[in-house]
Chains A and B, each alone.
Chain A
Amino acid sequence: MPKPFTPKIVTANALIEGDVIYLTNNGEWSRRHEDARLFNDEEAANAALAAAALQAGEIVGAYLADAAQGTKGPQPTHFRERFRATGPSNYAHGKQVEL
C-alpha cells in the first residue's frame, strides 16, 4: 500500500548564497518557512516541484518536505527541516539571526 499523502512544501537552496528557500503561494521564493505554500494535494505538489526544478538559474536541489499548518503559516514537522529553517545549534548563525 502506498503511504497516504501528507501535506508538503517545496524547498531548495538559493543558487548563489546556498540559503534555504521555500516556494510561496505566488510562485516566488522566500527565506521564511511560514511563507511557504502548503500543498495538500499530491499531484499539485509534484507539479510545483517539477516547475521549480526548471528554475536552475535561481535554485539548487528542490524537493518536497513534510510540513503542517501552524498559526503563522506552515511549520516543519521533522527535525531536519526545523534545523534548515533556523540554522545550526552551535552558533547564532543563519536564519535564526538573519531573519
Chain B
Amino acid sequence: MYTYTDFDEAFVRSRVAQFRAQVERRIDGSLTEDEFKPLRLMNGLYLQLHAYMLRVAIPYGTISARQMRQLAFIADTWDKGYGHFTTRQNIQYNWPALKDVPDMLEALADVQMHAIQTSGNTIRNVTSDHFAGAAGDEEADPRPYAELLRQWSTDHPEFQFLPRKFKIAVTGAEADRAVIRSHDIGLQLVEKEGQLGFKVIIGGGLGRTPMIGKVVRDFLPEADLLPYCEAIVHVYNTLGRRDNKYKARIKITVHENGIDTMRELIEARFKEIRPEFTGVDQELLAGIKAQFATPPLRKGDVAAYEAAYQMDPVFRAWADTNLTAHRDADHAIVTISIKAHGKTPGDATSDQMRLMADLAEEYAHGELRISHEQNVILPHVHKGDLPAIHAALKAAGLGTANIGLASDIIACPGMDYCALATARSIPIAQEIATRVDELKIEHEVGELKIKISGCINACGHHHVGHIGILGLDRAGVENYQVTLGGDHTETAAIGTRMGPGFSAEEIVPAIERLMLAYLDLRDAPQETFLQTFRRLGDAPFKAALYPESEARNAA
C-alpha cells in the first residue's frame, strides 16, 4: 500500500492547520457563510438536512487495517458510532459538529487520510476496481496509476475551479468493476504489442442527462497518462459551460462539440504540453508501483475450506456468493456484505469496522477495500482461513451471503440525510431487502443489481441498475420511477424508464412483481434478469409492473 512521502504529509498537515484557522474565523464571525462555504467544501464538509456531513476520501478504495480502526475511532469520538461507505469509495460521517471537524481531519492525517477535494468543482477522489491487484483477469494493477493521478490532481493549480466536479476511474481489467463508462474520464489498462497503455474514455456520467462515455483514444502509452489527462481536463476547463449548472459536466461538452472535435482539441493540447513532462512523473510512478507489490502469498493446505464447504450449508452459501477467484488458486477475494437484510446499505458500525480491521490484520495482509457497491473487501485471503473469517463475520452481523443478489442494493443517503434529495432511498432499500429475505427468493433470482437514487443526481447509480429506482417529489408526495435494463459494466447501458412512478407503499410490491415475472420469463436458470430483459424487451416487464393497465387493455 502507498505510504505518504514527506511532501504528502506536510501538505495534508498544512491543509488541516489552514482549515482549523478558517473554522475559528467562521465561528468568531470574521468569515461570513458565503466566504466560508467554498473553504469547507474544499475540505469535504457539507451541510445536510440534520447536521454537517464530512466526506472522507478512500483513494481507489484501498485502506489499511490501521486506517479502518481510525475511521472507527473517529465515528465513536465525534460522530454517532458509524460511517456510511459511498458509491465513490468515500466514507461519510453524518453528525459532526463544526468545531470538531479540524480535530477529525487531524485524526485522519495521523493515518495518512484526508477529505481534500471530496467536494467542489475539482477533480474528485480517483476510484478504481475494488479487486485490483488480486483479480485474475487484469492486465496490471490500476492503483499505482490512480495514486499518480491523485497526486497530480491534488491542488492542481489549473483545475481548482472547473466548470463542475470531475471524476476519474481506473481499471486494469476488461471486466469493468469500476463503472468507468459513467465517469468524466474512464481509463482501462490494456496491452498492445507487448506495451502497457490505456484505453481512454471520456464524457460518461449519470445525473440529469445520463451518458455512456466515448472512447477518445484506443491506446495511450502508459508514460503519456498525465499529459493526456491534463490535456483532457484543460480542454474541458476551456470549453465546458459555466452558464448552466446542468450543462456543465464534460458529458455535455462532449455531446455538444462531438467526440471528434474533442479528440482534435485534446490531441493538439497534448502535443503542446507533452514535452513539459520530462519523466519525473515516471520516476514517481516507478516508486509508487513498488509500494503496490502483491503481498507474499503463503502456500498451504486448503483442506479446512473444502471441509467447511462440504459440511456447512451456511458457509457454502456464503462462499458461493461472497467469494471471487483470486489470481492465486489457493487464495480468494472475500467480499464482506455491508447489506444485511433490513439494514442501511453501506453503513458499518465502529465495532464492525474494528472487526474487519482485525480480520484484515490477522488473515489478509492488513489490507481492505471499499467497493463502489458499498461493500468491504479482503483482497488476499488464503482459502484455509475462510471458515474462521466467516465465523467471525457471522457473529458480528457481517456474514450475509448476498453479494450480487437482489438485496445487495446500492442506495444513496436520500432524503434521510441529503439536502439535495427529493425522496428517501434508504427505507426503500431496507424494505426490498427485507421482503426478498421473507420470500427467500434471491438465490433463485440470481444476479440482480438494484440501484436506488433519491434524486436526479444519481449518486445511487439508478440509470445503470438492472432495476433502477429514482425517488422524486410529485406534488408533495414521494414517488418512485422504475428503469430497467441498465448495466454498469463493460457492456454499459442506460436503463429504460418504464412508465408512471409508484408511491412509497407501492414500490416494493412492484419490484417483487418484476422478480417473479423474471422467474416465469427466463429461458433457463442460467439466464440472468438482464439477459432476459435484453431478449424480451420492455413489454412483459411493463405488464408485470402495471397489471391494471394490462387488464384494461385486454378488456
Contact = CB atoms under 8 A, between A and B. Distances in A.
A90 B416 contact: yes
A88 B47 contact: no
A61 B80 contact: no
B427 A57 contact: no
A13 B417 contact: no
Given A57-B29, A93-B95, A78 B476 contact: yes
A95 B32 CA distance: 27
Contact of B33 (A56, A87, A94): A56
A35 interface: no
Interface stretch (A16-24, A39-47, A67-75): A16-24
A52 interface: no
Contacts of A56: 29, 32-33
Most buried by A among B33, B417, B426: B33
A15 interface: yes
Contacts of A18: 47-48, 50-52, 95-98
A95 B49 CA distance: 12
A83 B49 contact: yes
A90 B340 CA distance: 14
B538 interface: no
A61 B98 CA distance: 15
B27 A88 contact: no
Interface string A72-94: 00000111100110011111011
B75 to A, nearest CB: 13
B424 A89 contact: yes
Interface residues of B, number: 31
Contacts of B426: 88-90
A88 B52 contact: no
B33 A16 contact: no
Contacts of B47: 13, 18, 60-61
Contacts of B347: 90
Contact of A90 (B98, B427, B476): B427
B90 interface: no
Interface string B459-487: 00000000000000100111000000000
Contacts of A83: 49, 415-416, 424
Interface in B79-116: 80, 94-99
Contact of B49 (A20, A60, A78, A91): A20
Contacts of B188: none
A20 B50 contact: yes
Nearest to B429: A90
Nearest to B97: A17
Among A19, A56, A95, the most chain B Cβ lie within 10 Å of the Cβ of A56
Interface in A1-26: 13, 15-20
Nearest to B345: A90
B344 interface: yes
Given A84-B50, A90-B344, A90-B430, A15 B98 contact: yes
A74 B290 CA distance: 63
A98 to B, nearest CB: 10
Nearest to B45: A18
Contacts of A79: 415, 473, 476-478
A20 B47 CA distance: 11
Contacts of B49: 20, 80, 83-84
Listed residue (A60, A84, A90) with the most chain B CB atoms within 10 angstroms of its CB = A90
A17 B415 CA distance: 19
Contacts of B477: 79
Given A16-B27, A17-B97, A18-B97, A87 B50 contact: yes
B416 A88 contact: yes
Interface of B: 26-27, 29, 32-33, 47-52, 80, 94-99, 344, 347, 415-417, 424, 426-427, 430, 473, 476-478
Given A78-B476, A80-B473, A83-B424, 7 more contacts: A16-B98, A18-B48, A18-B97, A18-B98, A19-B51, A94-B50, A95-B50
Interface of A: 13, 15-20, 56-57, 60-61, 77-80, 83-84, 87-91, 93-95
10 contacts: A13-B51, A20-B49, A79-B415, A79-B476, A83-B49, A83-B415, A84-B50, A90-B344, A91-B344, A93-B95
- Considering the complex of A and B, which 8 residue pairs feature the smallest CB-CB distances, nearest first? A18-B51, A88-B416, A18-B52, A57-B29, A90-B344, A90-B426, A94-B50, A17-B97
